[in-house]
Structure 1
Amino acid sequence: MNNDLEADLARVIGRAAERAPQAPSDLPARVVSRSRRRRSRTLAAATAVAVVVVAGGVALSVRGLQGAPDVAVHPATPTATTPGLVEQVWPDAVWKIPAKLREGGRKLRPVIFIDDRTLLLETWASHEKADALYAYELDTGRTRKITDIRTPKGVFASAFTAGAGRIFWQTIEDTRTRLWSVPITGGEPAPLPTDAPIRKGADKLVVTGDRLAFSAFQGGGVFTVPLDGGAVTPVKNAVEHHILTWPWVGMPGDYTPDNEPSFKELYNVETGEMSLALVRPGDEYVRCGVTTCVGVGAGGKPFVRLRDGSQERELPDTAMHGLSMDRFMTVSLPTRGQALLDLVTGKSGDLGLRPDAKGAMTSVQPGIRNDRLVWYELKGRLVIIDLARIAGR
């Protein structure tokens, strides 16, 4: 990555999400690039989770959390010194785990947190085509196979979520979306029967009580279905909305091809509360969470502020777009590395990433879907960060 590219990284990442091609996708975090064809094909390719950009490609990680913190917007600006390593700053929230299965040596890729101590991993049959799911216990380091996933050529499992003792996901074949589940303890995947075909792929799935909620990538709309299958029911007053973090849904979603402010309008499907984010003339690449928005102001300076426009602060020019759990983003360091920045406490932690001999470097960006999982590969290991632990949830 050369200096010019590094300086422009914030805008490049923001535009990537806006201009991602329409198509099915997964991974509760998304952005599109040439190397992320499955996510675009499977729909979630233009939504948030932790986005990992590698020399023009993207990879990401995911899991939405409910609720959002009261945000005091006083961001640190780590531009003169390099902070401590992320595992030193937040030792209870960072793990380094094997990047490959012990038996067979197949590469593992993090998907979501199943719970506070268990990570869902997948292996691929081919590029981004999941063929098996595993549970990794962070306390013991034990890896346990949950199930095999078998899909036809060109069909991908995507939009994984966990709840009620099960893992749920979708597949999209032609114009039909099917919902699947498997017990976390293991077993054979089973489709959820529905009263009518689902013709819109989901950009996010979430378990809420005894129902599975999802929002449609193309055109929006929020729906629920019983966890064991049944009637697909539209959520009232959410016909064009996308799930941000349940029970908050909003519009537009992450995919904003004309540079519209993402999640400018929010609606709480449980309480009826509504929120309209303030967007100033000249603002660009605005991405809003439940309480907080980031973007680039009319003067070309990155900013962070609350949704009502208060507590606005300039961010470092090296700030990367994206905002997870209304408080986490990444910034570039003088070392040409990157740090995870907590806008609430002002603390930051060096991710340990550096350019290789050719100047290429993995770049990590948390996404606005309040995703708690950030991951990347470093020196043959997977670095796992649980943002919920940093936030005290």
Structure 2
Amino acid sequence: MTDDLEMSLTAELAAAARHAPRPADDLLARIEEEHRKRHRHGAVWFAAAASVVLLTAGAPLVIDAAGETPAATPSPAVATTEAPVPKADKTYPPIEKVWPGAVHVVPAMLPNGRPFTPEVFLDDRTVLVRTEKDGDADKVDGLWAYDVKARTARLLVRVTPPPKTVITTGSVLADRDRLYWWTVRKQERRRIVDIWTAPRAGGTQSRLTTFEGVPGYGGIDLEIVGDKAVWTRWGKGGVFEMPLSGGTPRLLPGTSAYTLISWPWAATPPYDHKKWKKKRVIFGDLLDIKTGKRSKAAVEPPAFCGISWCVKSGTLVSREGSTRDLPGMTDASSSPALDRFLLLLQRAEGGGPRGQVLYDVTTRRGADLGMRPAKRGEQWGMPVAVLDARAPGLFRYDRDGKQVIVNLRAIR
């Protein structure tokens, strides 16, 4: 296996972790546990999620999600020519050194011994976290306020998903007074979405609204904008809103083909892995919902766009068309979180994977996550952190048995 192919496969696995539903426990557990705890997008399904490539002392070994190893086939003898040795990517200092006020290394469990998943920063030192029954991301049973300095936790809400819940929100949101999340439940052959709320200071959950219309394994991307809830259904176009005081959801005019990416921005076409290979610019057409202004990204397909930037392989392209090389590789479906931050997989001298970097495209500063590939030998590969552009300003990953939590909004 070439080093370039190895890097590409690792990047594809990162993309799979962001978007694919978790299979049975197997060698993908580290990557796909992050997916189960984080956001899932019903429109995106990567075939790469079904397999992981392990590099052994000899040939590459591919193990599928069922744990079966396909029969080995001898490689045909081919003539080769000397290729230049790839140079290492630029190195960056450790993330704790680059942004010390925004990075917190905390235990993997609450003081009561329960694993937890960080959701959103409530203030500079308090993170809203969730706990799950039996480790199932769709059985959330509690929302807690966790102090990253004191390492203490306080239960805010005892969460009770409705019967026949099949999906629980990828992220919990917070405004000045309240918390918000959603669930999807089965009702005969329909999928019903419930949006929930509870006091930010703690209390009892209540249902904000109920509606149907999400596809099979689908949900919504939810934002709280002033006194309204705004959302997009996975796998379908349209941006909807509803007052937080209650009422009937309504489709915002002119948004039927658009996906909410970050208020007030919506974009089209959405990601579809079957059409990705047909050279599309994902989210290339941008709509400002408040003004009605539309624009088209000046980038050649295939590319994946956010609000200001598009990512095309290892190149960052502004919507106006200016380009900049990135100091590493992105996965196939990246756009900058908060319109600023990307995760890059970096090369070591000779072309193999060296580690991952959180890169700020605005300041051009980068920070090493401290994750390293295992050494060659029995089995080795690259642990992959996952940054979801839809997360509300929080990035987390596992390292050496602990969690690293980064407050992206605190980075200046």
Which TM-score bucket, shorter chain as reference?
Answer: 0.7 to 0.9
Q: Tell me by how many angstroms 1:83 deviates.
A: 2.0
Is the CA contact 1:179–1:192 (under 8 Å) kept in the aligned structure 2?
Answer: yes
Write out per-residue CA displacement over residues 7-52 of structure 1, whole angstroms, 9 at most, x where no aligned residue.
Answer: 114651586389857x9xxxxxxxxx87688689x963557xxxx9
* Equivalent AA in structure 2 for residue 112 of structure 1: V
Equivalent residue letter for 1:292: W
1:385 maps to which residue?
406
Task: Give the letter aligned to residue 318 of structure 1.
Answer: M
Per-residue deviation, 1:96: 1.0
Match of 1:338 in 2: 356
Q: Is the 8 A contact 1:55 1:362 kept in 2?
A: no
Aligned-residue CA RMSD (Å): 3.5
Shift of 1:198: 3.1
Does residue 295 of structure 2 align to residue 278 of structure 1? no
Q: Secondary structure at the match of 1:155?
A: strand
SS state at 2:275 partner: coil
Q: Which position in structure 1 is the counterpart of 2:25? A: none
Higher mean alpha-carbon deviation, 11-20 vs 205-214, is at 11-20
The answer (yes or no) to whether the contact 1:204–1:243 under 8 Å persists in 2 is yes
Cα separation, partners in 2 of 1:315 and 1:84, compared to 1, 3 Å:
closer
Q: Which ranges in structure 2 are unaligned for 5 or more consecutive residues?
A: 23-30, 54-63, 65-86
**In the TM superposition, what whole-angstrom CA distance separates every residue of 1:218-269 from its partner, at most 9, and x where no partner exists?**
2221111121321111111111221111111111234554113221111111
Deviation (angstroms), 1:340: 1.4
Distance 2:179 2:4 in 1: 42
Change (3 A) 1:80 1:239: closer
Report if aligned partners of 1:278, 1:307 keep a CA contact under 8 Å in 2: yes
2:316 alignment counterpart:
304
Aligned-partner residue type, residue 12 of structure 2: V
Residue identity (%): 31
Asked if residue 180 in structure 1 is aligned to residue 192 in structure 2, the reply is no
Task: Give the greater-gyration-radius structure (CA).
Answer: 2
Q: Does structure 1 residue 132 correspond to structure 2 residue 142?
A: yes
Q: Which residue of 2 aligns with 1:265?
A: 285
Secondary structure at the aligned position of 1:214 is classed as strand
Once the two structures are superposed, the pairs formed by residues 160-171 of structure 1 within 5 Å of their partners are 160-171=172-183
Tell me, yes or no, if the aligned pair for 2:182 and 2:193 is still in contact at 8 Å: yes
- Which of these residues, 224, 230, 233, is aligned with residue 241 of structure 2? 224
Shift of 1:97: 1.6
1:198 equivalent in alignment to 2:212: yes
1:172 is displaced (CA, Å) by 0.9
CA distance in 1, matches of 2:329, 2:41: 27
Query: Quick one: which of 101, 112, 121 aligns to 2:120?
Result: 112
User: How far is the alpha carbon of 1:95 from its aligned partner?
Assistant: 0.8
Amino acid at match of 1:352: G
Q: 1:314 aligns with which of 325, 330, 338?
A: 325
Equivalent AA in structure 2 for residue 44 of structure 1: H
In structure 2, distance between residues paired with 1:221 and 1:92: 38
Which residue of 2 is the match for residue 44 of structure 1? Answer: 41
Distance in structure 1 (CA, Å) of the matches to 2:381 and 2:42: 23
Question: Conserved in 2, the CA contact under 8 Å of 1:39 and 1:45?
Answer: no
SS of the residue corresponding to residue 92 of structure 1 reads: coil
Aligned positions of 1:338-357 closer than 5 A: 338-356=356-374
Matched, 1:7 2:7: yes
Asked if the contact 1:223/1:233 (under 8 Å) is kept, the reply is yes
Contact 2:232 2:260 in 1 (8 A): yes
Q: Is the 8 Å Cα contact of residues 119 and 135 (structure 1) preserved in structure 2?
A: yes
Is residue 2:265 matched to residue 1:248? yes
Pairing 1:376–2:397 present: yes
User: Once the 2 structures are TM-superposed, how far is the Cα of residue 4 of structure 1 from its aligned partner?
Assistant: 6.1
Distance 1:5 1:362, change over 3 A: farther
CA distance in 1, matches of 2:385, 2:92: 16
Aligned length: 345
CA distance in 2, matches of 1:45, 1:234: 20
Q: 5 Å matches for 1:80-91?
A: 80=89, 82-91=91-100
Larger RCO (CA under 8 A, 6+ residues apart):
1
Q: Which moved more, 1:119-128 or 1:203-212?
A: 119-128
Query: Secondary structure of the equivalent of 1:219?
Result: coil
Task: Return the TM-score normalized by structure 2.
Answer: 0.73
